[in-house]
Chains A and B, each alone.
Chain A
Amino acid sequence: MRLVWKVLKRRPSRLVGVAFLLLFTLMAIFGNLIYSHALNVDPNNIYAAPSWKHILGTDYAGRDVWEQIVRGSTNVLWVAALAACFTMALGTIIGLAAGYLGRVVDAILMRITDLFLTIPSVALLLILAVTLGMSNMVVLALLLSLTSWGGLARAIRSMVLSFRERSFVEVSRGLGLGRWHILLHDILPNLMPFVWTHLMLAITGAIYGEVGLFFLGVVPFKANNWGVMMNFATGSSGAMYSTQSFMFLAAPILAIVLLQTGIVLCVDAVNELADPRLRSSH
């Protein structure tokens, strides 16, 4: 814990990032507990200006914007975290297999990886989302990871290929340790800093894909997602073209920007925490 604090306070940008992240995580965890009742529709209060009762004003149906943001955060963060974990698992396993299981496996897996890297992932995601249909959030997370593991697998593979030739692996091999032992005890720990750092980037990628799907209105609407809010603000409600609805449009935009900024600012702190070599150099 003290180590975390020490790493964080080295740069002010990291503190800012962690603050944003904490804020959104708290929102995601406790949001549904605070606002457990249904959203109030209040026709007398359409596009109300920000006030004490409605911190961010109200939308086209008189619903509280702040409340929608808080409720939406649960969905956004949950799917993003899940998708990022799937991406990590897929990318790491495929990368390890390609780098370590010999030439044939390598050639086949890398062809597939190349294929996924060249296909425009957003287009693939959209088509998969439409044809398969989105029944629940886990499926959505799986689809998001299916279109984004390529870069990680490639990087892991090339790292494995270089680690294989290093002397510490050479030593383990000389000691007669098994292939799996070497893979799990010598190579994988060396990859972990990279994997952890990439996890953060995968979260930003998943947020992009997920909110984008909702923004385009491809996935069946489950209310309370920032993408759905943006979709309504720019599309059907016409809120975009009436200046009084500024908060309704700006709130989800701001939420996404702050969340992504928070994650990105934390990336180098995570890198430093995961990699003891970086820490000792300071």
Chain B
Amino acid sequence: MKWINRIIMAILTVFVVASLTFFLVRLMPGSPVQVMYLELIQKGIPANQAMNQVNIILNVIPNEPLFQQYIHWLGQIIHGDMGQSIQQTGVPVIRLIFNALPWTLITVAIGLLISFFIGVLLGVLSAFVRERWTSSLIDNIGSVAHAIPQFVTAVALLYIFSVLVHWFPSSGAYSIEVFPGFNGPFIMSFLYHMALPVFTYVLTGFGAWTLQMKASTVSVLKEDFMMAARLRGLKQNTIMGYLGSNSILPLFTGLMLSLGAMFGGSVFIEGTYAFPGIGNLLATAINTRDYPVMQGCFILTTATIIFANLIADFAYTKLDPRITD
């Protein structure tokens, strides 16, 4: 029963976000719907033909009352039609997004896993050497790495590794000589192009995990059961096992919540490396005021994150025996 509620909540959230983007674009001064309609009329296109065209691209009939526009638009969204791109005429938004999403999902996932791993290791290390200067060094490095914006790191890495020394390519997700598909050269080329973006995710991401893991480990170290385990003379390895599994648990919910920040960061990172993912798509859409693409990217990334959170919650109850439904 609890899970049905959660799923309904998740769907409702996606619905609210979608509606918000609709009204945001519609109610702003100089609404793109009106602008586009008037532009078409000015080009000498008859009124109902212009209306038709606006309908295809933006999923909205300009002369209808706002509420009916909204219902109409929602109906299209539910059928998977998010309109067409303004800039790339005739290309459905949904296709642009599904071309871009896999690149982002793979890089974000790999970047997240590596930074999580490094962060957890450094965090435990810092908790163990708590009183010494190494600990404070690790903490400071962690918080500084966390505070430096992704685009700064991205630009710096791009400058060092592909402008100064030509070790890594400066743009694209694979080189033009390989065919996309499940073959060796393509995968190698993809990994090669992916290196800098992933490195940027890791450099800007591990700091937060280090700090969280340290805080969590320190608090678990103070727990009574750790003392009891030590008093019983358990082996160091067993104690470490208890410590590890108890202090890493709270981080798992954070793992999924951080997806939002990672997707946000992908706007900067993919923009800088001209990596054809969803962040890059959103960045170009925003720069060219391509409203349908903007809305589509926003709704789909939000939906992805919301459902990732749902899965994380579900997994968390399985991982942590103390939680029962």
A residues near B, CB below 8 A? 11, 13, 114-115, 117-124, 126-128, 130-133, 204, 207-208, 211-212, 215-218, 230, 233-234, 240-241, 243, 249, 253, 256-257, 260-261, 263-265, 267
Q: In whole angstroms, what is the CA distance A249 to B272 when docked?
A: 14
Contact status of A267 and B143, CB under 8 A, knowing A118-B306, A218-B286: yes
Q: Report which residue of A126, A204, A217, A265 has the largest number of chain B beta carbons within 10 angstroms of its beta carbon.
A: A126
Contact status of A123 and B155, CB under 8 A, knowing A118-B302, A217-B287: no
Q: In whole angstroms, what is the CA distance A260 to B207 when docked?
A: 14
- A122 shortest CB reach to chain B, Å: 3
Given A118-B257, A127-B286, A260-B144, 11 more A-B residue pairs with CB atoms under 8 Å apart are: A115-B16, A118-B309, A119-B305, A120-B261, A120-B298, A122-B264, A126-B283, A215-B151, A216-B271, A218-B287, A230-B151
Contact status of A118 and B13, CB under 8 A, knowing A127-B24, A130-B294: yes
Chain A residues closer than 8 Å to B286, beta-carbon distance: 126-127, 130, 216, 218
Interface string of B131-167 (1 = CB under 8 A from A): 0000010001001101111011001101100011000
B263 within 8 A of A: yes
Contact status of A243 and B163, CB under 8 A, knowing A118-B309, A123-B263, A123-B282: yes
Q: In whole angstroms, what is the CA distance A257 to B153 when docked?
A: 9
Chain B residues closer than 8 Å to A212, beta-carbon distance: 149, 151, 268
Nearest to B257 among chain A residues (CB) is A117
Per the CB 8 Å criterion, the residue count for chain B at the interface is 47
Interface string of B16-37 (1 = CB under 8 A from A): 1100010011001100000000
Q: In whole angstroms, what is the CA distance A243 to B164 when docked?
A: 7
Chain A residues closer than 8 Å to B267, beta-carbon distance: 122-123, 126, 216
Q: Report which residue of B29, B298, B301 has the largest number of chain A beta carbons within 10 angstroms of its beta carbon.
A: B298
Interface string of B276-315 (1 = CB under 8 A from A): 0000001100110100001001100110011001000000
Q: Report which residue of A13, A121, A216, A230 has the largest number of chain B beta carbons within 10 angstroms of its beta carbon.
A: A216
Q: In whole angstroms, what is the CA distance A130 to B155 when docked?
A: 23
Q: Report which residue of A120, A253, A261, A263 has the largest number of chain B beta carbons within 10 angstroms of its beta carbon.
A: A120
- A111 shortest CB reach to chain B, Å: 8
Chain B residues closer than 8 Å to A264, beta-carbon distance: 140, 143-144, 146-147
Q: Decide if B260 touches A130 in the complex (CB within 8 Å).
A: no
Q: Decide if B16 touches A120 in the complex (CB within 8 Å).
A: no
- B108 shortest CB reach to chain A, Å: 11
- A38 shortest CB reach to chain B, Å: 28
Chain A residues closer than 8 Å to B289, beta-carbon distance: 130
Q: Decide if B268 touches A215 in the complex (CB within 8 Å).
A: yes
Question: Which residues in window 3-56 of B have CB below 8 A to A?
Answer: 13, 16-17, 21, 24-25, 28-29
Chain A residues closer than 8 Å to B16, beta-carbon distance: 115
Question: Which residues in window 229-277 of B have CB below 8 A to A?
Answer: 257, 260-261, 263-265, 267-268, 271-272
Nearest to B308 among chain A residues (CB) is A118
- A99 shortest CB reach to chain B, Å: 20
Q: Decide if B152 touches A13 in the complex (CB within 8 Å).
A: no
- A183 shortest CB reach to chain B, Å: 28
- A19 shortest CB reach to chain B, Å: 15
Q: Please, could you name 27 A-B residue pairs with CB atoms under 8 Å apart, sorted by A?
A: A114-B13, A118-B260, A118-B302, A118-B305, A120-B260, A120-B264, A122-B264, A122-B265, A123-B263, A123-B267, A123-B297, A123-B302, A127-B21, A127-B24, A127-B294, A127-B298, A130-B294, A131-B28, A211-B149, A211-B151, A216-B267, A216-B268, A218-B286, A230-B152, A257-B148, A261-B147, A261-B148
Q: Decide if A132 touches B28 in the complex (CB within 8 Å).
A: yes
Chain A residues closer than 8 Å to B309, beta-carbon distance: 118
Q: In whole angstroms, what is the CA distance A217 to B272 when docked?
A: 12
Q: Decide if A117 touches B147 in the complex (CB within 8 Å).
A: no
Q: In whole angstroms, what is the CA distance A33 to B94 when docked?
A: 52
- A69 shortest CB reach to chain B, Å: 14
Chain A residues closer than 8 Å to B146, beta-carbon distance: 264
Chain A residues closer than 8 Å to B306, beta-carbon distance: 118
Contact of B298 among A124, A218, A230 (CB under 8 A): A124
Contact of B13 among A13, A115, A123, A218 (CB under 8 A): A115
Contact of B152 among A117, A130, A257 (CB under 8 A): A257
Q: In whole angstroms, what is the CA distance A263 to B140 when docked?
A: 11
- B89 shortest CB reach to chain A, Å: 21
Nearest to A115 among chain B residues (CB) is B13
- A146 shortest CB reach to chain B, Å: 12
Q: Decide if A240 touches B302 in the complex (CB within 8 Å).
A: no
Chain A residues closer than 8 Å to B263, beta-carbon distance: 120, 122-123
Q: In whole angstroms, what is the CA distance A230 to B140 when docked?
A: 26
Contact of B264 among A123, A233, A260 (CB under 8 A): A123
Contact of B163 among A119, A240, A267 (CB under 8 A): A240
Chain A residues closer than 8 Å to B305, beta-carbon distance: 118-120
Nearest to A211 among chain B residues (CB) is B149
The 7 A-B pairs with the shortest beta carbon distances in the complex, nearest first, are: A122-B264, A260-B147, A120-B264, A208-B149, A120-B263, A264-B143, A204-B147
Nearest to A200 among chain B residues (CB) is B147
Chain A residues closer than 8 Å to B159, beta-carbon distance: 240, 249
Q: In whole angstroms, what is the CA distance A11 to B156 when docked?
A: 30
Q: In whole angstroms, what is the CA distance A123 to B144 when docked?
A: 23
- A244 shortest CB reach to chain B, Å: 12
